[in-house]
Each structure stands twice: as structure tokens, then as C-alpha cells.
């Protein structure tokens, strides 16, 4: 059974018109599981947002103006076994059962601070090991907006430094959890970006990506980076 997982930084869902447009976009792309970052959600809005989307929604709340992550389920044939999240709205972790395969899914919204980002990734590494031992699953998919470019040359424009340098936070996380940047592994020299400076179009980075465990990499995987124009169209009120 094929499962489509998508990720999108929504830059706030407080506006009712924008939220409806984003929810509609998420259903139109027919993804079964959706990772949303920067939702700016709160406990008080859970019931209303769930009414708009449906029952398949999990939250990790941020503040009215920052952070917040959500996982949405849409025509998902599997089942949720367990879930966990932080109190700052930067990650949510769920264990699902798909065709008797237990998979750990983690939606991440990274900090704009390396020290906080490193602490978060170290804590997630420990939680992954704990869940892997508890539930007997070594299949992990981590995605979202990490606020970290994995490669200083291929994933940044303009390039940084005099030679390619891999981000130590991401490298350490992948080493500790036996994960890999699958899109980069299968596109070793391709340059595609997910973040663009609002003031300078020549400044951009690949900050949004998927890290998958070695055990999942043996499956048939297909990763796509959406054109920025398609997402912007979805966010525009009609």
C-alpha cells in the first residue's frame, strides 16, 4: 500500500480564510499524512480547527506568533499507536501501523538558534532510540523545516566557505539514528531550495527535507520538492 506524506511551512494559520485555503490544498494533493510547521496554534483553537479538518489531527502548540506543528491524516488506512510532542511547538512524534509495519514519524520545526536546535535534535535522538526499543521499530521518517541547510555548498545560495561542509547537527542526528538525507543521496548534485529571502531573490537555502532510516531506504521512495509558486497560490485567498 502506497502512503503519500507531505510537508509544508504554513507561516501561520490564525487567519480563517488562509486556513481554509491551506486545508483545501492539503486535501487536493491527496496526501495521507501532512506535516505542517509554524501553525501558530493554541489549545483554545483545537476543537474549531478539528471541526474544519476532521478528526485526524495532532498538535504541538507554539504561540500566537511563532512555532507550532501539526500532523494531519487524510484517508489514512493505518492507525495511530502512540504520539508525543514538546511544549514549545517545535516537534511532534507519532507511531503508526501501516500494513503491520510500525513506523515512527517526526514533524520538526527547527529553531533559529544552533544551540537550541542541537539540544532538540539530541533529545529527539534519545526518544527515537527509546521508541525503537519499546515498540520494536527501526523505521523512522523525520521531516519538516529544520532551519538548517545540510550542505554549505549544494543547499545554500550563495555558498558558504571554501569547500563543502556538512552541518554537524544534522550529521550527528543522522549518525545517532541511522538516518539519511534520501533526496540528496539520490540527487547528489542537484540544487533546489525551499526558502527564499523576501528581500533578495539570490539568497536561498534548502531548509525543508526528509531524513529516513536505513531500513526504509530499501523501499520504493519518491521525493518531490514543490515549486514555490504552487504553494503560494494555495495560500492566496480566493
Domain ranges of the chain: 5-232
| Annotated binding residue 9 | yes
Contact at 8 Å (CB) between 76 and 57? no
* 147 annotated as belonging to a binding site for a ligand: yes
Per-residue model confidence (pLDDT) at position 1: 67
Q: What are phi and psi of 49, to 5 degrees?
A: -65, -35
Give me the tens of pLDDT residue by residue for the chain, a chain 238 residues long. Answer: 688 899 999 999 999 999 999 999 999 988 999 999 999 999 999 999 999 998 899 999 999 899 999 999 999 999 999 999 999 999 999 999 998 899 999 999 999 999 999 999 999 999 999 999 999 999 999 999 999 999 999 999 998 877 778 999 999 999 999 999 999 999 999 999 999 999 998 999 999 999 999 888 666 567 778 655 444 444 444 3
**Three-class DSSP category at 141:** strand
The CA-atom distances, in angstroms, between 83 and each of 31, 72, 79 are: 20, 13, 11
* Tally of CA atoms within 13 A in the half-sphere of 188 that contains its CB: 0
Do residues 179 and 140 lie in contact, with contact meaning Cβ atoms separated by under 8 Å?
A: yes
For residue 221, the model assigns a pLDDT of 67
Instruction: For 34-52, give the secondary structure using H, E and C.
Output: EEEECCCCCHHHHHHHHHH
Tell me whether residue 84 is annotated as binding.
no
- Could you report the per-residue pLDDT of 155-181, keeping only the tens digit for each? 999 988 777 789 999 999 999 999 999
Task: Locate 138 and state its grid cell.
Answer: 527501526
Q: Is 107 annotated as a binding residue?
A: no
Domain 5-232 class in CATH: alpha beta
Q: Check if the beta carbon of residue 72 is closer than 8 Å to that of residue 32.
A: no
The model carries a pTM of 0.92
Question: What's the rounded Cα separation, in Å, for the pair 201 and 185?
Answer: 27
Q: For residue 227, what pLDDT is reported?
A: 55
pLDDT attached to residue 236? 41
Burial of 234 per CB tally in 10 Å (0-12, 13-18, 19+): buried
Nearest residue to 216 (alpha-carbon basis) of 120, 121, 72, 106 = 106
**Contact indicator for 137, 93 with CB cutoff of 8 Å:** no
Amino acid at each position: 500500500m502506497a502512503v503519500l506524506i507531505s510537508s509544508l511551512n504554513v507561516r501561520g494559520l490564525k487567519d480563517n480564510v488562509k486556513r481554509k485555503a491551506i486545508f483545501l490544498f492539503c486535501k487536493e494533493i491527496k496526501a495521507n499524512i501532512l506535516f505542517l510547521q509554524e501553525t501558530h496554534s493554541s489549545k483554545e483553537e483545537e476543537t474549531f480547527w478539528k471541526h474544519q479538518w476532521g478528526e485526524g489531527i495532532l498538535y504541538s502548540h507554539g504561540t500566537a506568533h511563532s512555532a507550532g506543528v501539526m500532523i494531519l491524516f487524510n484517508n489514512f488506512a493505518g492507525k495511530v499507536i502512540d504520539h508525543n510532542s514538546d511544549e514549545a511547538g517545535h516537534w511532534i512524534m507519532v507511531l503508526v501501523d501501516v500494513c503491520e509495519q510500525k513506523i515512527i514519524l517526526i514533524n520538526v520545526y527547527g529553531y533559529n538558534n544552533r544551540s537550541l536546535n542541537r539540544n532538540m535534535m539530541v533529545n529527539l535522538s534519545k526518544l527515537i532510540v527509546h521508541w525503537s526499543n519499546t515498540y520494536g521499530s527501526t523505521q523512522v521518517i523525520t521531516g519538516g523545516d529544520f532551519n538548517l541547510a545540510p550542505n554549505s555548498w549544494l543547499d545554500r545560495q550563495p555558498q558558504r566557505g571554501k569547500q563543502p561542509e556538512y552541518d554537524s547537527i544534522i550529521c550527528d542526528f543522522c549518525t545517532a539514528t541511522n538516518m539519511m538525507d534520501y533526496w540528496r543521496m539520490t540527487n547528489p548534485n542537484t540544487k533546489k531550495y525551499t526558502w527564499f529571502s523576501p528581500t533578495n531573490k539570490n539568497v536561498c537555502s534548502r531548509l525543508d527535507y526528509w531524513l529516513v532510516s536505513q531500513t526504509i531506504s530499501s523501499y520504493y521512495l519518491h521525493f518531490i520538492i514543490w515549486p514555490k509558486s504552487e504553494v503560494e497560490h494555495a495560500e492566496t485567498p480566493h
